[in-house]
A and B are shown apart, each in its own frame.
Chain A
Amino acid sequence: MTTVTEFTGGDVAAGAGRGSVGIRISGLRHSYGRNPVLEGVDLTVAPGEFHCLLGPSGCGKSTLLYLIGGFLPVQHGTIATDRGPVTKPGPDRGIVFQSFALFPWKTVLQNVLYGLENLGVARSERLERARALIDMVHLGRFADAYPSQLSGGMQQRAAIARTLAIDPDILLMDEPFGALDAQTRRVMQEELLAIWQKTNKVVVFVTHDVQEAVALGDRISVMGANPGRITQVVSADFNREKGSNVARGVEFNSTVESVWEMVRHEATVAEKSSAREPGSR
């Protein structure tokens, strides 16, 4: 069991004094049975970077995320963080899913406490940290509510709080705002950026929404399907200077347009190649 020894009381949100961990992926290939899902993925994510995996469905972006998380066994190639090679799930790589995956029989508070209990944190400290996180995601009044009583946006915030509670080095997010309506999504994006800037973690964020990727990411891996692979890595680090507000300026829009073109091109190519080989899926 991974023990996070650098924890100090009250440092939950700051994650202070800990250099973030990077990710190194090389030569990664993955198949489900006889279907190739990922081919020749090489990627380096720097410490403290917000990295987006962008692509249409079928490009393997979620699979890549699950491999980093250690939920799928690595078949070919290597994935490593500064802690060592990735072989199984662990609290150094927290994950947030699109469907929230909150434990429905536990309240928000109990959900957030879950990871802290696993790490063996002392009882009073657990409660303190859990409540601090719940307040940070603006769910203070709903700490004792059950997930079924909360809206989608609130559930997602609870899920984020739960993951942040164990202070993972790396935050893996699988289209976390996909199930939310447009307004809530925008609010959540800004809140996520604020949290990220405060905690300085590595974030790997999967999405199929170009605007979202450009708004959030420092760098974006544009992925293509058939077979799943990273086609280009684009820089979008004008975000850093903007504080917690995502201003939609000229740079932003031009980046969105060029990335959009890349994605469109990839989707057309993928369509042609899958049409050429019937039954190849």
Chain B
Amino acid sequence: MSPAGSRKAAGFPTEAVFQVGAILFLLAVWYGFAAGGKINVFLLPRPGAVFQRLAHDLANFRIAEDVATTLWRAFAGFVIAAVVGIPVGLAMARSAFGRWFFDPIIAVGFPAPKIAFMPIFLLWFGVGDLPLIVLVAINCFFIVASSTAAGAAGVPRLLIWSAQSLGDSRESIFRRVVVPAALPQIMNGIQVSVPVSLIAAVGGEMLTGGIGLGGSILSAGRMVDSVGVYSGLVVCLTVGFVLLKLSELARRRLLHWHAESGPAS
């Protein structure tokens, strides 16, 4: 559900201008409050200090290490979720047994706060990447599986009837008609899962600490290092933003035949 996904005809330059404007506005407000001296420099450090820290951490590769670690966990979990979730979703649409078996699991699991299971994962998998990867995978699995199931079950019946009258068999129709027709919905699930994977990874890292974006911000918070917290947030924001744009690009490429009827909204 990307609010930035709208492709208004004449809007593009205007929207970009407003976007840049908003960023500048926030920076100006930040500078203003910090320089004005009214606000405790601890609660709101000067932008200069934050950028200095960013530069420093970039130079000594701390940021690179954190970003790489978090992204690796998010990516691994995301891939597992897609590899398991898409077939499960297709099975749910294809067979009555699949639907019967997975429906309650997804109904209960979807709204459940998966982060609550983190202590269990820590118990089972110890510390390190694995519990976080599992957390990400479980978070994204429900999204991918339910989007896939919805997409495959929602293929317009006229398409299936056309395929049948063109001589195709049931199994073949599923592969050649249902799956491609469901692709926009499947991509929706995948696209929503991308930011979710990052959110889940960072959220989990908040609990485990250690290396990683979440871990760094948490340590900064614990050490009451507000400059560290703010710089960590800036990094998080940037990473999230880049991921978002990349996934939008991927969607446009894969669904080029969908033309104007495509953006995830």
Contacts and interface: CB of A to CB of B under 8 A. Distances in A.
B257 A104 contact: yes
B180 A105 contact: yes
A103 B177 contact: yes
A103 B159 contact: yes
A119 B167 contact: yes
Contacts, number: 76
A95 interface: yes
Contact of A114 (B166, B260, B261): B166
A148 to B, nearest CB: 4
Interface stretch (A8-16, A85-93, A131-139, A202-210): A85-93
B165 A146 contact: no
A118 B158 CA distance: 18
Contact of B258 (A71, A104, A114, A163): A104
B257 A105 contact: yes
A31 interface: no
A93 B165 CA distance: 6
B167 A101 contact: no
Given A99-B158, A148-B260, A118 B183 contact: no
B180 A101 contact: no
5 contacts: A66-B161, A69-B165, A90-B167, A91-B166, A101-B159
B168 A71 contact: no
B168 A118 contact: yes
Contacts of A168: 165
Contacts of A153: none
B162 interface: yes
Contacts of A93: 165
A269 to B, nearest CB: 31
Nearest to B179: A105
A1 B169 contact: yes
Interface string A183-214: 00000000000000000000000000000000
A166 B168 CA distance: 12
A73 to B, nearest CB: 13
